[in-house]
């Protein structure tokens, strides 16, 4: 056999009382891998059993080691009846299969039950002996490393980037496949959890096989998603970028965390790629899931390309076969390719795929950024690690090159205003640039960036089958157009000219469609300054109407002036002949020759000459008025706060070393089903803004600070139910304050971890900000209140330290939340596993990647009101998820999770029956980091005290 798995059950603690007569438990453990099961002895009458079992040995193929999780079930022994289940633990063996990986998994794991949650802990020791197998026909991909980060992992060098890899697996969903049609909650949930774990392992193995065929050894930007298609099946999909990575030796490793207080704009945001050798082997049109690249990798960026398709799941002939869905995604990718080629580009970077499913209708979405890559990176063959490569010894690439248009200015795919680059004065650039990638390291930026959101809600009639799919298909193009229009308006209102990290979501419900677009707006120095916004009306002249237009115009002008000061956007004054488009009029008419308007009409509307540059908003119907109102009524950000949805905030470089992460969600039930589009838009906008306001409130003592990596997720899980969440938010505190990392994700998070005052007031608490005159229900907010600062889990007694009455900044280099005040039984302090959606931890250096964490959880309750309603239920569930993630990372010997993501959070509620169910999928990279100030590894979470409270960064 090529592999031997060994497991030992050491002990348990804090088990629940299963025998009411003695208030104790007769616990034993079943250890299962594949079809082989072992059992420990029964430890009678104890809530803290000490099994100290023998080594349970499983001789299996390495293929099974990748597919199967080690399943540990804790049960209560009953003599005269069936044994009662206490809970389960699933341990992924894949992190032990790489040569650089940990040698064992050892620690305390939370025992999890899908009905009762965490029910104690169990101490397990797992080892793997993997033998070399030279069989070329084997179906395992042991040794291929996976990374969730969308940039080249720190402490590695990319020797070769091979290209795009994708795969999907399909199976029947146990939730819909019970023979007797009588659903048992625990049995159904556990069958679903186990199946998804198996499918996830199989998918990862198949992706790894494709990478080995390409000659690579790693997958970077690994994105795995679950599609719950109901009776049509359960689909697990994954995409990534195949690479050949070389481990950097300590003496040659570049400092990839170069966020300094004095870095200039040209290189301050970067990871240091100066000595990284990257080569791309292109077999076909390349897709890259990466969003961050070495300087000079991107020659030109054409802009965002996207494609959407509506499919009927009941048209799948054989739900168990993946071919139909493979064909669907291939159609989407072909469309993306055609869009990119129309822009004169030969690659798509920052690529992602997503779905939204309601009943039998599925919306498939894909988006990325069309780009031209540097041909120096595109040659065949692997680079010699020991040789020199003069490609990377040149001066830094120009800060404007990626902005230059890749397409022919006389045959553009769309009308656009072009100018000469304001940096080099040689090449043409567009007036605005939209991308899905992070801001390139070499980009020259003026002022600061900010988060820009467009929100849209549209009603539709309830229908079935093809009629429903047709109605959705007809709405989609208009929704996407309106979202882009909102983004453009809000971008110009902030005097900015580019968007990075753009993410557009379309979520479908039974009677509505929701659209949410988020991006980071910046002012690129190479692009022309955006002009003002001019309001124009088409209605007959009327005194009141004209006065209304004039008032609106004044508000817009005042807002633009205020935003220039707020974001410190003061571009250098240009001479008249250099401002605006230098394209001669005779050439300009050729650009617009395909349009129906005459050249005279176009020139009459063209206001982009010199200092008259303006963006015209025409008011011709109520929708236009609504757009302008939403443009002007966005809640202003409180003073001292900045936000973006990229990893690094443009224009802010003086980061400090603290780290903290939070999670929040809003579940909103509409009480009025007859709301108009305008009414729904208002509710949706308030829901998004209140979610951010609650975060600003929590961090009010940390001013000045910046929220980074903000990524909202919106869903319509049931009729008249809107769920806001899965918002990854990181907060960077500047001017000497602590770096705070926020993750607003698909579920609620504990605020008792905040290391600053929580002076909650009835008139200022975000949950009380809802107007009393709203025509709809109140949102459920799984966020801690002033009465729950000492929140304890049932049976676990999770404790937190009291918050200080006032936060005071710590000296530079120290972190307020790096270590816990708790101690192990021996008296040694217990370090807490840190968690962040960023690919790095400020002030630290990642020295080792231990593998990816990819976990799926289901939680169900039949006593929703008794558990604190939706807020309490979601809060407890997220707290348990965080505890389990930390435990698995610590068992691998890690002390942090980077690139953490909550990719799925499906919440379903039946208030009439007091029931609720939630499904959550989380992922990230388990790592060991070293603090630069100490140059020694922070101790991982030890085998005791594993379960900590829910401060997302591990503070307690």
Pick the more confident residue, 589 or 675. 675
What's the pLDDT tens digit per position in 50-60? 999 999 999 88
* Sheet with 498-508, side-by-side order of all strands: 433-434, 498-508, 512-524, 445-459
Between 303 and 384, residue with greater pLDDT:
303
Mean pLDDT of 341-357: 93
- Tell me the pLDDT tens digit for each residue of 181-206: 566 888 889 999 999 999 999 999 99
Query: Is the pLDDT at 115 greater than 70, yes or no?
Result: yes
pTM here?
0.81
The model's confidence at residue 741, banded by pLDDT at 50, 70 and 90, is very low
d(CA 377, CA 277): 9
Q: Identify the pLDDT of residue 714.
A: 85
Banded pLDDT at 520 (limits 50, 70, 90) = very high
At residue 260 the predicted structure's pLDDT band, cuts being 50, 70 and 90, is very low
> Please, which pLDDT band fits residue 266 given cuts at 50, 70 and 90?
very low
Q: Let me know if domain 1-132 sits in CATH 2.60.40.150.
A: yes
Mean pLDDT of the chain: 75
Percent of the residues in the chain that have a pLDDT greater than 70, as a whole number: 70
User: What's the pLDDT tens digit per position in 586-612?
Assistant: 333 333 333 333 333 333 333 343 344
Distances (CA, A) of 312 to 325, 362, 479, 669: 11, 6, 20, 27
User: What pLDDT is stored for residue 143 in this prediction?
Assistant: 83
Is the backbone of residue 827 left (phi > 0), alpha (psi -120 to 50) or beta? Answer: left
Percent of the chain whose predicted confidence (pLDDT) is above 90: 38
pLDDT digits (tens, 9 = 90+) for 756-778: 222 223 333 333 333 333 334 44
Query: If you average pLDDT over each of 361-370, 805-814, 868-877, which comes out highest?
Result: 361-370
pLDDT score recorded for residue 318: 76
Say yes or no to pLDDT of 542 above 60.
yes
Using alpha carbons, list the distances in angstroms from residue 379 to 161, 165, 300, 373, 388: 11, 19, 18, 11, 16
Q: How confident is the model at residue 483, as a pLDDT?
A: 93
Q: How confident is the model at residue 145 (pLDDT cuts 50, 70, 90)?
A: very high
Average pLDDT on 4-9 reads 94
pLDDT of the residue at 697:
86
**Angle of CA points 462, 464, 466, to nearest 5°:** 120
Minimum mean pLDDT range among 73-82, 712-721, 919-928: 712-721
Confidence of residue 141 (pLDDT cuts 50, 70, 90): confident
The pLDDT of residue 717 is 77
Instruction: List strand residue ranges (DSSP E) for 562-691, in order.
Output: 614-619, 641-643, 666-669
Range with top average pLDDT, 192-196, 259-263, 573-577, 613-617: 192-196
What is the DSSP track for 706-719? EEEEEEEEEEEEET
What does the pLDDT average to over 510-518? 91
Within 13 Å, how many C-alpha atoms sit on residue 454's CB side?
A: 26
Tell which wins on pLDDT, 755 or 36: 36
**Half-sphere exposure of residue 601, counting CA atoms within 13 Å on the CB side?**
6
Local structure of residue 624 (DSSP, 8 states): H
CA-closest candidate to residue 493, choices 446, 559, 565, 431: 559
- H helix runs in 136-248, sequence order: 185-214
Kindly provide the residue ranges of all beta strands, DSSP E only, lying in 359-404, ordered along the sequence.
361-373
| Weakest-pLDDT range from 65-69, 435-439, 736-740 | 736-740
End-to-end CA distance of the chain: give it in Å, rounded: 45
Average of per-residue pLDDT across 603-627: 52
Select, from the ranges 115-119, 575-579, 842-846, 906-910, the one with the highest average predicted confidence (pLDDT): 115-119
How large is the angle between the packed helices 465-493 and 622-632, nearest 10 degrees?
50
Say what the pLDDT of residue 294 is.
81
pLDDT digits (tens, 9 = 90+) for 293-304: 887 788 899 999
* Fold for the domain defined by 144-248: Translation Initiation Factor IF3 (3.30.110)
Assess contact for 743 and 730: CB atoms under 8 A: yes
- Residue 159's pLDDT is 86
Give the least confident one: 415-429, 814-828, 893-907.
Answer: 814-828
At residue 231, the pLDDT reads: 84
Question: What's the pLDDT at 252?
Answer: 52
Q: Which residue has the higher pLDDT, 281 or 234?
A: 234
Number of C-beta neighbours around residue 250 at 10 A: 7
Q: Name which residue leads in pLDDT, 199 or 1.
A: 199
Arithmetic mean of pLDDT, 532-538:
75
Q: What is the pLDDT of residues 70-82, one digit of tens each?
A: 999 999 998 788 8
For residues 18-43, average pLDDT = 92
Confidence of residue 616 (pLDDT cuts 50, 70, 90): low
Q: Which residue has the higher pLDDT, 651 or 386?
A: 651
Give the confidence band of 622 by pLDDT, cuts at 50, 70, 90: low
Tell me the mean pLDDT in the region 333-361.
93
Domain ranges of the chain: 1-132, 144-248
Asked if omega into 398 is within 30° of 0 (cis), the reply is: no
Cβ of 561: how many Cβ atoms within 10 Å? 12
Gap between the Cα atoms of 319 and 231, Å rounded: 9
């Amino acid at each position: 056999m090529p592999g031997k798995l060994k497991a030992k059950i050491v002990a348990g603690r804090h088990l629940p009382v299963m025998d009411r007569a003695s208030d104790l438990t007769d616990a034993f453990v079943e250890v299962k891998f594949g079809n082989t099961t072992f059992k420990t002895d029964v430890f009678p009458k104890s809530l803290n059993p000490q099994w100290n079992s023998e080594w349970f040995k499983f001789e299996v193929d390495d293929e099974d080691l990748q597919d199967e999780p080690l399943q540990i079930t804790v049960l209560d022994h009953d003599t005269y009846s069936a044994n009662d289940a206490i809970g389960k633990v699933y341990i992924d063996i894949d992190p032990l299969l790489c040569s650089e990986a940990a040698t064992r998994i050892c620690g305390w794991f939370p025992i999890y039950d899908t009905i009762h949650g965490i029910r104690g802990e169990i101490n397990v020791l797992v080892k793997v002996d993997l033998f070399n197998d030279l069989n070329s026909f084997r179906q395992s991909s042991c040794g291929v490393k996976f990374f969730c980060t969308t940039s080249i992992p720190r402490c590695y060098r990319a020797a070769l980037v091979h290209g795009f890899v994708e795969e999907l697996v399909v199976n029947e969903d146990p939730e819909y496949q019970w023979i007797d049609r009588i659903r048992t909650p625990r049995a159904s949930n556990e069958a679903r959890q186990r199946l998804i774990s198996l499918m996830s392992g199989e998918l990862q193995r198949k992706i790894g096989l494709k990478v080995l065929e390409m000659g690579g050894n790693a997958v970077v930007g690994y994105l795995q998603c679950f599609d719950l298609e109901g009776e049509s099946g359960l689909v697990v999909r994954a995409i990534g970028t195949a690479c050949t990575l070389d481990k950097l030796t300590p003496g040659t490793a570049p400092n990839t965390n170069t966020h300094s207080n004095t870095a200039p704009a040209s290189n301050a945001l970067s990871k240091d790629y100066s000595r990284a050798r990257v080569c791309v082997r292109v077999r076909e049109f390349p897709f890259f899931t990466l969003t961050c690249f070495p300087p000079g990798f991107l020659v030109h960026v054409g802009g965002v390309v996207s494609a959407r398709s509506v499919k009927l799941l009941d048209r799948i002939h054989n739900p168990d076969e993946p071919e139909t869905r493979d064909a669907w995604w291939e159609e989407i990718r072909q469309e993306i390719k055609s869009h990119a080629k129309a822009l004169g580009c030969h690659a798509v970077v920052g690529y992602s795929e997503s779905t939204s499913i309601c009943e039998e209708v599925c919306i498939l979405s894909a988006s990325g950024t069309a780009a031209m890559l540097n041909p120096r990176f595109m040659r065949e063959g692997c680079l010699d690690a020991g040789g020199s490569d003069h490609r990377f010894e040149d001066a830094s690439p120009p800060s404007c090159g990626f902005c230059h248009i890749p397409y022919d200015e006389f045959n553009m795919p769309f009308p656009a205003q072009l100018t000469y680059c304001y940096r080099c004065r040689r090449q043409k650039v567009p007036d605005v640039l939209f991308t899905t990638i992070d801001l390139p390291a070499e980009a020259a930026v003026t002022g600061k960036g900010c988060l820009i959101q467009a929100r849209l809600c549209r009603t539709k009639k309830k229908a079935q089958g093809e009629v429903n799919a047709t109605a959705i298909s007809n709405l989609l193009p208009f929704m996407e157009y309106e979202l882009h229009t909102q983004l453009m308006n809000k971008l110009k209102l902030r005097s900015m000219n580019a968007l990075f990290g753009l993410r557009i979501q379309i979520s479908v419900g039974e009677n509505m469609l929701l659209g949410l677009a988020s991006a980071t707006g910046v002012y690129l120095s190479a692009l022309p300054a955006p002009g003002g916004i001019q309001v124009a009306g088409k209605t007959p002249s009327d005194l009141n109407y004209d006065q209304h237009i004039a008032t609106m115009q004044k508000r817009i002008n005042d807002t633009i002036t205020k935003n220039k000061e707020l974001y410190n956007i003061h571009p250098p004054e240009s001479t008249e002949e250099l401002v605006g488009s230098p394209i001669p009029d005779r050439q300009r008419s050729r650009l617009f020759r395909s349009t129906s308007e005459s050249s005279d009409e176009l020139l009459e509307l063209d206001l982009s000459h010199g200092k008259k540059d303006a963006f015209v908003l025409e008011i011709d119907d109520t929708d236009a008025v609504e757009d302008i109102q939403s443009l002007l009524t966005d809640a202003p950000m409180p003073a001292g706060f900045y936000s973006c949805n990229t990893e690094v905030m443009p224009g802010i470089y003086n980061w400090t070393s603290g780290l903290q992460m939070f999670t929040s969600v809003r579940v909103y039930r509409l009480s009025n089903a007859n709301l108009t589009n305008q009414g729904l838009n208002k509710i949706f906008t308030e829901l998004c803004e209140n979610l951010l306001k609650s975060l600003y409130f929590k961090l009010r003592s940390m001013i000045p600070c910046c929220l980074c990596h903000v990524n909202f997720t919106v869903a319509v899980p049931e009729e008249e139910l809107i769920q806001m969440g899965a918002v990854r938010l990181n907060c960077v505190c500047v001017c000497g304050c602590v770096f705070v990392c926020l993750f607003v994700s698909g579920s609620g998070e504990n605020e008792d971890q905040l290391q600053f005052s929580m002076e909650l007031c009835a008139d200022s608490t975000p949950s009380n900000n809802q107007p009393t005159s709203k025509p709809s229900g109140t949102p459920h907010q799984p966020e801690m209140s002033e009465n729950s600062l000492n929140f304890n889990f049932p049976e676990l007694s999770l404790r937190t330290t009291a918050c200080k009455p006032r936060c005071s900044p710590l000296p530079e280099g120290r972190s307020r939340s790096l270590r816990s005040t708790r101690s192990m039984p021996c008296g040694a302090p217990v370090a807490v596993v840190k968690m962040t959606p960023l690919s790095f931890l400020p002030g630290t250096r990642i020295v080792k990647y231990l593998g990816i964490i990819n976990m799926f959880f289901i939680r169900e309750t039949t006593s929703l009101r008794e558990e604190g309603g939706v807020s309490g239920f979601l809060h407890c569930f997220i707290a348990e998820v965080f505890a389990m993630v930390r435990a698995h990372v610590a068992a691998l010997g890690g002390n942090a999770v980077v690139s953490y993501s909550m990719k799925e959070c499906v919440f379903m509620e039946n208030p009439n029956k007091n029931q609720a169910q939630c499904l959550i999928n989380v992922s990230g990279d388990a790592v060991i980091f070293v603090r630069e100030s100490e140059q020694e590894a922070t101790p991982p979470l030890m085998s005791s005290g594993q379960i900590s409270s829910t401060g997302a960064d591990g503070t307690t």
